[in-house]
Structure 1
């Protein structure tokens, strides 16, 4: 077991160094990891479960698993990405068990042929105009409702990109997908959101207020 370090020295260590110390038995180092990433983990879990109680359970379960599996962390990716993967998996597993939300297939509003023929991108219009209308309460509520209807596998990719700001490569690491698969999921999620929000984004007189 490694000798514990003073709190101020732990603060100066990066995540990989903390993980290494935690594996060697320094529980204070693991507590520092939890302290650094707990809020982001909870926000992600809450975004997926839409339940404070479920999100708290997911985070608790995720950090228990993280501690148990910390010796398997290879260090070839950011610790935060590896941790996100465990949080997302725990949240999706809970959603599968509870089935508390209705899932909407985004494949119904996607064109697989187009996805194969061109690099998935963002549908023009909805995002820019949605940002311009950010202060419109009705539109904000509709955007949140539309995101909530996404199938969890698409919603996870969308939230990691748009809410957490992860890069495509980071999302690929978290979700254990290829970068191309991440692009496809994001594209299909955005197509669904564009279709769901079209009645609201098309009402210029409303969103301009």
Structure 2
């Protein structure tokens, strides 16, 4: 009601007040549910007992280095520069003297090769955002 009253000066055609009021009410309801959807609900996401997410991620990053090192040179180099050192793919292209699309392809192929090697060796549990929750060696 307060929103409708505040927006009353914006009403240009009084004969269309009913649809105008309906639209404000509808938008207010949509806004309410959007905000509610963005609020985390306590207790729904289980935290690993005794180990923080950052610790798992750092430990996992340390463990994947041998897998990266086992990739063919051009893919290893691309992943080390982009994923470990944090340079952009555009900068990678400039450093290696290749096209930007070539650099993107090289990084993507390297990621795929790394993923295949990791999944062959280990069972990796992730959340829906791709964060590593845990991992264990396959038998």
Shorter-chain TM-score category? 0.3 to 0.5
Of structures 1 and 2, the one scoring higher in RCO (CA 8 A, sep 6+) is: 1
TM-score, normalised via structure 2 length: 0.46
More strand as a share of residues: 2
Task: Point out the structure with the larger helix share.
Answer: 1
Q: Whose radius of gyration is greater, 1 or 2?
A: 2
TM-score (norm 1): 0.32
